[in-house]
Structure 1
Amino acid sequence: MRKNKLSFKEKAGAEQEQEECLCFCEGEASREAMFQAPIELPEGFVVDPAEAVANVTWNADSLSCVSDRCLIQTGPEPDEVGVQFAVRLQGTVTLLVSVSPVRNQYGQGDGAVSVIHNAEIDQVVYYSDEPDDCPDISDITIENLVVVPPFYGSPLSVTGTIVLVPEPEPVYAFTANPNDQSVSVIDTNTHSVVTTIALPYNPAGIEITPDKSAVFVLHPNNNVISVIDYDTLTVTASILLDQPPRLIRFIPNHEFAYVFTGTAVSVIGIDTLTVDRSIPVEGYDVAIDPNGLFAYVLNFGIVQKVDLTTGEVTGTIERELIVSTIETNWPERYAYVLEQEFFFNYLTVIDLNTFTISSTQELEYEGEYRMFTSGTGVYLHDGFTGNLYSVSPNGAGVIGNVPQSARDFAFTPNGEFLYATHVLEQSITVYNTDDYSVETVISLGVSPGAIAI
């Protein structure tokens, strides 16, 4: 949630708002509502509660959403007050509640009895920074249906839970903390630290499998990869290699992890967590073809295309400048190469269908560039000017400015926020991608290096 300290003018407005409604954001928020629907059985019919099954259909057309302004305390001082919005659902959810099987008094026949039950709703479902952040009411579901037998004269009834707004699935950011032998886990929905996972060795690189089932953490000094289960946030396995893992790549819809050691690409089964094969290569950076068949290896002034089945070098592109970084972007069939020499910087685009250079773009002179992938995008950040570039087959274009240098960057999947790790500050800066202003700063208490979301 955004908690910005207000200016004097905004503060005065907030104080006026406080005088008008005297409301701070202290009301309890719940995304669920309980209901109990009594079922009157026709005379001569019975239901066995132990056997009975309930079913519910619903209509939420009479439900509406409103946003109520309320105040929050953003700091220890009395004048540090901000405004948020309590998102409230009001109206009626109409339920058609059925119970079956219903039999006559002799236990014959199978039928059902149904009633219409109106559940009145008037509650805050969550708080938001935005005034119009209403949920999709069509997402309502019914859970936890229970048939309650008659009790001391009360009728048969059905209880359940109306899930008005589903709890958002957690989307985690993972940072490798080499000085602490740990991984920090941050919930990007709330920008808060969920837990810190202890590791057996110092971590360097970190990546998440495309299906978000596991997190692979590289320990180059120990020739080991730790595997963290995404759901339980626990270390579940270790993969021992015969060389130091330097970086790891995944391709969506492929069953392998591609680990570069500097002298080989080890192809590891994601499900089996075993090395399927190891292809000898020489270089200092590598990218994997979106089809998973080739590796593109940088080695000083050349880019080599290597068959990941046979190990054969099937093509070479020679460059006059030092090629420093290469990335590919699934499902596009292009490779992006950052070339640097002295104060000169260039972005070269390689068409992977023909393995030829399609374009070269000169970047800002004296720039301090680093290239990274995040989600389905490739990006450049210039630590000298702060400019952030989006990279495409047409070249690199500025999309914002992030003035503070960082060890690593990652975008949230919805593209709303950019996370940047800072080693010395032991923190993560979260930027709002609307204007790349600082949304919040997350203090970790440890020094984060690589980050993956």
Structure 2
Amino acid sequence: MRQRSHNGLVILAAALSAAVVLGCWPAAAEPIATHPFSEALVTNQTGDSLSIVSLADMKSVAEIAISGNPAGIAMSPDRKYAFITSPESKELVVFDADTRQVAKRFNVGEGPLGVAAHPSNGLVYVADWYVHKISVVDPLAGKVVAQIAVGDSPSGLAVTPDGKSLLSADRDSDAVSIIDTATNARVKSIPVGKRPFGITIDAEGRRAYTANVASDDVSIIDIATGTVVGTVPVGHRPYAVALARGRAFVTNQYGSSLSVFDLDSLAPVKTIEIGDHPEGIMADATGANVYVACWFDNVLMRIDTDKLTVTGEAAVGDGPRAFGLFLR
């Protein structure tokens, strides 16, 4: 029987896989949104694997053993590497997306979950659920270079497009932390809804959207002022948010649905019925589609953002989470 945990960390025994030597990539790379995405890299937490899905035909083309209950994921700016958190083995896994091999893995604390990559300086940020800190990681060296104290049980992470600020959804503090990436200093804690989990920043770096699991709503933050400028009711147990074509798309875990609302008026647009227990969600580079991992159905679903209908699905591994940025 599959386990579903309240805090997002599923604890299962797992063995570590072998690692190969990691090559290097440029610290500054062309922005990820300038080229269309061709693949989805879906972390399968209870399956201890990573599914690779071709977006052209929505077919799973590979499933790679990862171990450690992989959950969170982020891509390097050049899309060559995926950074994957494995909570059970307490590691960050660096995955070479071109060769489809694990390149490196190393300890990053006690409960790594959310992960985000800086757009230009080569660093990666990992939220540690248990020690209430964010680890600043040099993935080439395979080590933690700094730690930042935040609120309780940090979950989702996101970096502004200019790389100046890191935002952390501090779930058990009902708050979002803003961190100055130049100094690794926490500069503000912003009260939001109850139990914020996933967090997404818009392309302009102006607003952040956090899905609040326990209050069934989304808080909208003006990053410059550090204030909540709106709250939108959504479905039951919202998990994460994607932004596309002037709309927000929110996965409702217990509602088996997506809530869609307008970013300008904040008015509801539609509720879309999808697979069982939707979790990770991300929009493609054009905003024409969003992709959703459905935990209990073991599928990745594609939703047309204009028609607001499901247009495809791909079978993936067991317990897909895809928590973070998983398209390349």
Distance 2:40 2:274 in 1: 22
Highest CA radius of gyration, 1 or 2?
A: 1
User: Larger strand proportion, structure 1 or 2?
Assistant: 1
Q: Measure how far apart 1:176 and its partner are.
A: 1.2
The amino acid that maps onto 1:328 is: I
Give per-residue Cα distances to partners, 1:13-67, cap 9 Å, x unaligned: xxxxxxxxxxxxxxxxxxxxxxxxxxxxxxxxxxxxxxxxxxxxxxxxxxxxxxx
Give per-residue Cα distances to partners, 1:253-283, cap 9 Å, x unaligned: 4422111113221122355444332222232
Distance 2:210 2:310 in 1: 30
Aligned to 1:379: 249
Of residues 192, 209, 213, the one that matches 1:336 is 209
State how 1:74-89 maps to structure 2 within 5 Å. none
Aligned to 1:12: none
Q: Measure how far apart 1:401 and its partner are.
A: 1.9
Distance 1:375 1:237 in 2: 33
Aligned to 2:41: 174
8 Å CA contact 1:188–1:412 kept in 2: the answer is no
8 Å CA contact 1:371–1:378 kept in 2: the answer is no
Alpha carbons of 1:255 and 1:266: their partners in 2 closer, same or farther (altered >3 Å)? same
Q: Measure how far apart 1:332 and its partner are.
A: 1.9
SS at match of 1:420: strand
Distance 1:296 1:379 in 2: 19
8 Å CA contact 2:242–2:283 kept in 1: the answer is no
Alpha carbons of 1:243 and 1:169: their partners in 2 closer, same or farther (altered >3 Å)? same
Alpha carbons of 1:265 and 1:387: their partners in 2 closer, same or farther (altered >3 Å)? closer
8 Å CA contact 2:217–2:233 kept in 1: the answer is yes
Aligned to 2:231: 361
Aligned to 1:246: 113
8 Å CA contact 1:334–1:393 kept in 2: the answer is no
8 Å CA contact 1:229–1:236 kept in 2: the answer is yes
Alpha carbons of 1:203 and 1:386: their partners in 2 closer, same or farther (altered >3 Å)? closer
**TM-score, length-scaled by structure 1:** 0.53
Give per-residue Cα distances to partners, 1:360-383, cap 9 Å, x unaligned: 23425x644232347898632345
Aligned to 1:435: 307
Distance 1:170 1:339 in 2: 28
Q: Measure how far apart 1:293 and its partner are.
A: 4.0
State how 1:2-401 maps to structure 2 within 5 Å. 171-262=38-129, 263-284=132-153, 285-290=155-160, 291-297=162-168, 298=170, 299-308=172-181, 310=183, 312-318=185-191, 321-325=193-197, 326-339=199-212, 345-357=216-228, 359-364=229-234, 367-373=236-242, 379-382=249-252, 384=255, 386-389=257-260, 392=263, 395=266, 397-398=268-269, 401=272
Q: Measure how far apart 1:187 and its partner are.
A: 1.0
* Matched positions, count: 281
Q: Measure how far apart 1:235 and its partner are.
A: 1.4
SS at match of 2:314: strand
**TM-score, length-scaled by structure 2:** 0.71
Identical aligned pairs, as a percentage?
A: 19
Structure 2 residues without counterparts, runs of 5 or longer: 1-34
SS at match of 2:88: helix
Alpha carbons of 1:333 and 1:272: their partners in 2 closer, same or farther (altered >3 Å)? farther
Alpha carbons of 1:432 and 1:236: their partners in 2 closer, same or farther (altered >3 Å)? same
Per chain length, whose mean CA-contact separation is higher, i.e. which structure has more relative contact order (CA < 8 Å, sep 6+)? 2
Alpha carbons of 1:329 and 1:258: their partners in 2 closer, same or farther (altered >3 Å)? farther
Q: Measure how far apart 1:200 and its partner are.
A: 4.1
Distance 1:293 1:224 in 2: 26
Give per-residue Cα distances to partners, 1:168-204, cap 9 Å, x unaligned: 9871111112233211111111211221112243312
Q: Measure how far apart 1:336 and its partner are.
A: 2.4
Give the alignment's Cα RMSD to 1 decimal: 3.3
The amino acid that maps onto 1:250 is: A
SS at match of 1:395: coil
